[in-house]
């Protein structure tokens, strides 16, 4: 019979252990599908190079500190780092309070009392915004007399702090411990994103911030904010306030004010996360029409106006005047170098019904090919946005329709069938691309679907090495039809964590059993940090979620 | 173009309106799949008889009170009712405070200032536990000078209070209003349950209580507590404390103490909810074996003990001694007249491997028919439990295997394929039955699967009227493999609400569009009461969920 006390200790041990308990346990427990210790502990996503030793040190919340290395180019004046030190101290020690004066009295010979953070580049990026070109690498050495985290830029330091915190575990007596470790790490892909949709359901700021926090725990670095769409327009525009006044679910309680947006962006920046807004046109714009007269195409039923509206009206000059002003504002509000311009799923039926549109089609010689009209609109829009000095991302249809794109355009592949062919085509045409097709997390199903997301290989398409280099990453998309503040977070995590590892770790990291073991503990760590990340399978966390 | 301000008001109006705004809105909004007002407002589940008028009264939190009618047989000494008054006052008015002295000053002529609750039976049941035979009916008249809620027993009064609170809505100025209404109501089925599984994941008490609250909002009246199973044994037994000491995920943090269990039962009672525990044997008992030596069957690999264990060992007298003592305790801890004894999914392979079992089979003349051995065990168990004066519920296999059952046994039909045939068979044999087969809510899928649950007709099997009367209800089951405190509540609600209406309302209540409209608002009401019930589709609630 299995010794149940040992069984309990096993689970506790696993939950925050380094994984050196492996040999203590036999196959019986395996049969019970209990989480097994991974040799990589609970590291998630797995770093590129990890050397773990069995030498362990104690971490004492009273004496432990995270400090700037003397040689660091970002010191106490770098609030991004100081903020991160506080955050990770709290993640590791909770409500313990560090007491400077008592340090020497409490530190024993096997204690690790300090983590020194050393930014090595002359430009630390402390006060910058992250970009697709940001250096996110870091090197972490955990050893006495102190641990050292070296990174060229603050972005790597942020990731290294997360990794350091993931190395901390509780020994059998509940004492915080860490093993002597050397890690050298950098992301496989530069663009690792989460798409959230705040139009189909309004997502309170609190929800967005909680998910930015969780993204940082998973080394995601892009928040793709699908901020408006058909159902509602919660973005409060200074230039066109009537857009949200009329188009939001509610003009006061269901909008993002300029201050809200600023907060989201800064909250992301402090965690190395870019905020890329999507203002999708010419389709998906029903809510725009409520506050902007004549922006949408009036549809006809036979020879009469039907009273309904279609996509943005591409034949009026006023449309382009509006877009110029609107995107001028957007380009200043959002500091990222890229804006996502959408361009997906344009329904032609309303355009077809409208005699003015038909006339315009004739004048332009488009025949009955409405993709040409769509491209006409998009082309003008891209040219407008190009004048704001921003780069743009677009959904794959824009590329498919042959629109002339700037060289730095990012094409976003999302259509499930034939995604590999599409990746080959887009990169074959020389465009950078990101992949979302296999990672539509709004589609839910019974059991462990994270494994499906985990098994995706983004470069598994026919193409040259040059083409593959054009794939800069991917995004997990959580569309909002069935998701709001009540269920978003447990639905997203840890399912998106599977995508996080795929986009960060080396291509060879594909052991699904090891992933299960690490991810199980990683998810309990998210729970312990207050994030209601759902379970992978029957199991428990030492400290269960405290919300309801 | 749709007037967007009106659009906003529509949504607000719908959210807590009585449904008299219908004619204000045209088909355009329909096309947007916006929630439309139902003529039954947000009543859920729909009462048996509803007469609504357009005469409306204001409800003023300062002056409104819920009081005992003079003639009531349950007055101020009935803490169940007093507790319910406070609860529903808070649901309706939130943080407003009632101020007795200022009543006359604030009440206007169109105000409704009082709801009188009148228990009519000489036995109010105030201090009793609810049972399958409890009278849950009530009659509610909302009119001036005061509203009257009449019910034979407190159970009906609880339901009537919920219904009254569902009639309250906010007018366009945010003032609480209620329309003149007459309702006569009673449940179609007496047994309306939710199964939660606290073994595969431990469910903190806070989660259980939140769901009991939500059950009351949906007029469910049975909490089927699948408290232990293979993965863990969180029930702290006074008689056999080693069961949870060894078999729980953790002996202190992941157990239900006697005080916890008592609290859950009383919390349920105060809401008219029975708590029926399930102690499933002889299968699903791996966790029992950890703390109770020789309880489980040792499995063999060839001629050697394999070290693993199978179902409860049915050939030892010690097994039955243990069960006698254990169920004696259970029968005193849980006041309900029924205990669920499980009996599902017994795996015979371990029994087959064991030479002692084989010998016993021979002695008994069972041949190689292990269902006979299973029945042998179950029969002895049922006889043991019968001595505790409890009735029992069992999963359908026990009936299928021909075990001799007490006349008052409830057979629980759960197997998906052929459930209608099974219902016909069970009721044909004269047993009462409850249905769960179509309501396994742990199976999730994309989009509005609540409709699938809603469309089930429990009596849609071949059988006589007498047989159909034996169907006393059903249960929505949320098994715990993929569910814990992080995601249980939004996964259960409002999907279980669909089952609630099917089990409470008249058979003819099947309009899925009207259900969508009422349920959308009902779900926002749950959200407003602090329950993270997930959305049905793109939409919003006036006050979104405040947790994360």
Give φ, ψ of A192 to 5 degrees: -130, 100
Q: Which residues contact B52 (CB under 8 A, 6 or more apart)?
A: B18, B19, B39, B40, B41, B179, B180, B181
Among residues B260, B484, B261, B492, which one has the least CA distance to residue A545? B484
Integer Cα distance of B289 and B299 in angstroms:
13
**Beta carbons of A540 and B202 less than 8 Å apart:** yes
CB B264 within 8 A of CB B258: no
**Beta carbons of A540 and B7 less than 8 Å apart:** no
Integer Cα distance of B62 and B79 in angstroms:
23
Structure tokens at A141: 């050495």
Return the number of other C-beta atoms located less than 10 Å from residue A131's C-beta. Answer: 15
Please report residues of B whose CB lies closer than 8 A to that of A204.
544-546
Please report residues of A whose CB lies closer than 8 A to that of B451.
none
Catalytic residue among B28, B123, B172, B345: B345
**Beta carbons of A482 and B446 less than 8 Å apart:** yes
The alpha helices in A21-180, defined as continuous H runs, are 27-31, 79-93, 103-106, 154-167
Mind giving me the DSSP string for A400-464? HTT----TT-EEEE--STTHHHHHHHHHHTT-EEEE-TT-BTTS-BSS-THHHHHT--TT-SS--
- Does B24 score more than 50 pLDDT? no
CB B288 within 8 A of CB B245: no
Q: Which residues contact B178 (CB under 8 A, 6 or more apart)?
A: B56, B57, B59, B112, B142, B147, B164, B167, B168, B169
Please report residues of B whose CB lies closer than 8 A to that of A516.
none
Integer Cα distance of B33 and A75 in angstroms:
55
**Beta carbons of A487 and B2 less than 8 Å apart:** no
Please report residues of B whose CB lies closer than 8 A to that of A535.
201, 482-484, 486-487
Q: Does residue B296 sit in helix, strand or coil?
A: strand
DSSP state of A22: G
Q: Tell me, what's the ipTM? A: 0.92
CB-nearest partner of B484 from A7, A481, A535: A535
Best probe of the A interface among B485, B488, B525, by most A CBs < 10 A, is B485
Q: Measured between CA atoms, how close is A286 to chain B, in angstroms?
A: 9
Confidence of residue B109 (pLDDT cuts 50, 70, 90): confident
Q: Measured between CA atoms, how close is A312 to chain B, in angstroms?
A: 14
**Beta carbons of B445 and A444 less than 8 Å apart:** yes
Q: Measured between CA atoms, how close is A284 to chain B, in angstroms?
A: 12
Please report residues of B whose CB lies closer than 8 A to that of A531.
548
For residue A391, the surrounding DSSP H or E stretch is strand A391-395
Q: Which residue has the tokens 């743009």?
A: A392
Question: For position B191, what pLDDT does the model report?
Answer: 98
CA B518 to chain CA centroid, nearest Å:
20
> Quick one: CA dihedral B42, B43, B45, B50, positive or negative?
negative
| Reported pTM | 0.93
**Beta carbons of A444 and B442 less than 8 Å apart:** no
Structure tokens at B440: 């396994």
In chain B, which residue's Cα lies nearest the Cα of A442?
B446
**Beta carbons of B534 and A486 less than 8 Å apart:** yes
Counting one residue from A and one from B, how many pairs have CB atoms under 8 Å apart? 201
Q: Measured between CA atoms, how close is A208 to chain B, in angstroms?
A: 9
CB-nearest partner of B247 from A4, A249, A289: A4
**Beta carbons of A447 and B482 less than 8 Å apart:** yes
Q: What is the mean pLDDT of chain B?
A: 92
Q: Which residue has the tokens 């204000």?
A: B24
**Beta carbons of A248 and B8 less than 8 Å apart:** yes
Q: Measured between CA atoms, how close is B265 to chain A, in angstroms?
A: 19
Burial class (CB in 10 A: 0-12, 13-18, 19+), A27: exposed
Strands (E), B386-428: 391-395, 410-413
> HSE of A435 in the Cβ direction (CA atoms, 13 Å)?
29
The angle, 0 to 180 degrees and rounded to 10, between the axes of the packed helices B512-528 and B4-15 is: 80
CA A525 to chain CA centroid, nearest Å:
18
Integer Cα distance of B520 and B505 in angstroms:
17
| A147-151/A138-142 β-pairing | antiparallel
Structure tokens at B379: 């029969």
Integer Cα distance of B209 and B200 in angstroms:
18
CB B115 within 8 A of CB B146: yes
Question: For position A210, what pLDDT does the model report?
Answer: 98
Q: Which residue has the tokens 């491209």?
A: A375
DSSP state of B100: G
**Beta carbons of A482 and B11 less than 8 Å apart:** no
**Beta carbons of B444 and A443 less than 8 Å apart:** no
SS (H, E, C) B140-173: EEECCCCEEEEECCHHHHHHHHHHHHHHCEECCC
> Quick one: CA dihedral A16, A18, A24, A29, positive or negative?
positive
Angle A490-A496-A502 from CA coordinates, rounded to 5°:
160
Angle B357-B361-B365 from CA coordinates, rounded to 5°:
170
In chain A, which residue's Cα lies nearest the Cα of B544?
A485
Buried b (16+ CB within 10 A) or exposed e, B299-338: bbeeeeeeebbbbbbbbeeebbebbbebbebbbebbbbbb
Confidence of residue B21 (pLDDT cuts 50, 70, 90): very low
Return the number of other C-beta atoms located less than 10 Å from residue A26's C-beta. Answer: 10
Burial class (CB in 10 A: 0-12, 13-18, 19+), B117: buried
pLDDT digits (tens, 9 = 90+) for B298-324: 999 999 999 999 999 999 999 999 999
| B191-197/B222-226 β-pairing | parallel
Q: Does residue A228 sit in helix, strand or coil?
A: coil
Cis preceding-peptide flag for A73 (omega within 30 of 0)? no
In chain B, which residue's Cα lies nearest the Cα of A287?
B4
In chain B, which residue's Cα lies nearest the Cα of A250?
B8
Integer Cα distance of B355 and B396 in angstroms:
29
Per-position pLDDT tens, chain A of length 548 = 233 323 333 333 333 333 333 333 333 333 345 789 999 999 999 999 999 999 999 999 989 999 999 999 998 999 999 999 999 999 999 855 555 555 444 567 789 999 999 999 999 999 999 999 999 999 999 999 999 999 999 999 999 999 999 999 998 888 999 999 999 999 999 999 999 999 999 999 999 999 999 999 999 999 999 999 999 999 999 999 999 999 999 999 999 999 999 999 999 999 999 999 999 999 999 999 999 999 999 999 999 999 999 999 999 999 999 999 999 999 999 999 999 999 999 999 999 999 999 999 999 999 999 999 999 999 999 999 999 999 999 999 999 999 989 899 999 999 999 999 999 999 999 999 999 999 999 999 999 999 999 999 999 999 999 999 999 999 999 999 999 999 999 999 999 999 999 999 999 999 999 999 999 999 999 999 999 999 999 999 999 998 76
CB-nearest partner of B246 from A5, A542, A545: A5
Integer Cα distance of A211 and A478 in angstroms:
12
Beta bridge partners of B142: B181
A345 is catalytic: yes
Q: Measured between CA atoms, how close is A33 to chain B, in angstroms?
A: 9
Question: For position B31, what pLDDT does the model report?
Answer: 37
Angle B228-A1-B343 from CA coordinates, rounded to 5°:
35
Q: Measured between CA atoms, how close is A479 to chain B, in angstroms?
A: 10
Q: Which residue has the tokens 């005193």?
A: B332
**Beta carbons of A537 and B481 less than 8 Å apart:** yes
Please report residues of B whose CB lies closer than 8 A to that of A350.
none
Give φ, ψ of A151 to 5 degrees: -150, 140
**Beta carbons of A2 and B542 less than 8 Å apart:** no
Catalytic residue among A32, A345, A481, A544: A345
In chain B, which residue's Cα lies nearest the Cα of A486?
B532
Mean pLDDT over residues B104-120, rounded?
Answer: 83
Q: Measured between CA atoms, how close is B5 to chain A, in angstroms?
A: 6
Integer Cα distance of A371 and A311 in angstroms:
13
Q: Does residue A131 sit in helix, strand or coil?
A: coil
Integer Cα distance of A379 and A282 in angstroms:
11
Burial class (CB in 10 A: 0-12, 13-18, 19+), A28: middle
Confidence of residue B22 (pLDDT cuts 50, 70, 90): very low
CB A377 within 8 A of CB A401: no
**Beta carbons of B540 and A202 less than 8 Å apart:** yes
pLDDT digits (tens, 9 = 90+) for B61-94: 999 999 999 999 998 999 999 999 999 999 999 8
The alpha helices in B174-316, defined as continuous H runs, are 205-217, 242-247, 258-269, 286-291
Structure tokens at B116: 């009188």
Return the number of other C-beta atoms located less than 10 Å from residue B402's C-beta. Answer: 11
Please report residues of A whose CB lies closer than 8 A to that of B289.
1
CB-nearest partner of B540 from A230, A254, A536: A254
């Amino acid at each position: 019979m299995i010794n149940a006390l040992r069984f309990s200790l096993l689970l506790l041990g696993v939950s925050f252990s380094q994984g050196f308990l492996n040999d203590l346990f036999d196959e019986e427990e395996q049969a019970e599908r209990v989480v097994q210790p991974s040799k990589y502990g609970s590291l998630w996503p797995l770093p590129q190079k990890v050397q773990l030793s069995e030498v362990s040190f104690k971490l004492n919340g009273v004496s432990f500190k995270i400090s700037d290395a003397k040689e660091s180019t970002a010191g106490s004046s770098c609030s991004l780092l100081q903020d991160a030190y506080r955050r990770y101290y709290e993640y590791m020690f909770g409500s313990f309070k560090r007491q400077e004066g008592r340090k020497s009295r409490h530190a024993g010979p096997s204690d690790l009392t300090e983590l020194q953070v050393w930014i090595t580049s002359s430009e630390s990026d402390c006060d910058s915004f992250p970009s697709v070109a940001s250096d996110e690498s870091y090197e972490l050495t955990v050893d006495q007399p102190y641990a050292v985290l070296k990174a060229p830029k603050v972005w790597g330091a942020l990731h290294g702090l997360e990794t350091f915190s993931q190395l901390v575990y509780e020994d059998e007596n509940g004492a915080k411990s860490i093993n002597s470790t050397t890690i050298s790490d950098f992301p496989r892909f530069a663009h690792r994103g989460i798409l959230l949709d705040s139009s189909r359901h309004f997502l309170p700021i609190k929800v967005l911030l909680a998910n930015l926090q969780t993204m940082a725990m998973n080394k995601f670095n892009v928040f793709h904010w699908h901020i408006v769409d058909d159902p509602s327009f919660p973005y409060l525009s200074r230039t066109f306030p009537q857009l949200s006044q009329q188009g939001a679910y509610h003009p006061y309680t269901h909008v993002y004010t300029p201050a809200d947006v600023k907060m989201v962006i800064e909250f992301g920046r402090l965690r190395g996360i870019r905020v890329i807004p999507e203002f999708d046109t010419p389709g998906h714009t029903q809510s725009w029409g409520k506050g902007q007269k004549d922006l949408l195409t009036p549809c006809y039923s036979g020879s009469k106006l039907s009273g309904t509206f279609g996509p943005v009206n591409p034949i009026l000059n006023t449309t382009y005047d509006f877009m110029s002003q609107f995107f001028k504002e957007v380009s200043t509000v959002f500091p990222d170098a890229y804006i996502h311009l959408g361009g997906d799923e344009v329904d032609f039926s309303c355009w077809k019904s409208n005699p003015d549109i038909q006339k315009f089609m004739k004048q332009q010689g488009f025949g009955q090919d409405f993709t040409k009209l769509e491209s006409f609109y998009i082309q003008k829009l891209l040219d407008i946005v190009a004048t704001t000095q921003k780069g743009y991302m677009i959904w794959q249809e824009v590329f498919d329709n042959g629109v002339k794109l700037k060289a730095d355009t990012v094409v976003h592949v999302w259509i499930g069938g034939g995604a590999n062919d599409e990746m080959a085509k887009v990169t074959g045409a020389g465009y950078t691309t990101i992949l979302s097709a296999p990672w539509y997390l709004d589609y839910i199903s019974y059991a462990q679907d994270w494994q499906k997301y985990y098994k995706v290989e983004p470069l598994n398409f026919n193409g040259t090495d040059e083409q593959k280099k054009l794939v800069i990453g991917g995004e997990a998309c959580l569309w909002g039809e069935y998701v709001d503040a009540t269920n978003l977070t447990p639905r997203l995590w840890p399912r998106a964590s599977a995508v996080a590892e795929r986009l960060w770790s080396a291509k060879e990291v594909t052991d699904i059993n090891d992933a299960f073991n690490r991810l199980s503990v990683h998810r309990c760590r998210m729970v312990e940090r207050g994030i209601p990340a759902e379970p992978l399978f029957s199991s428990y966390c030492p400290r269960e979620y405290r919300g309801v």
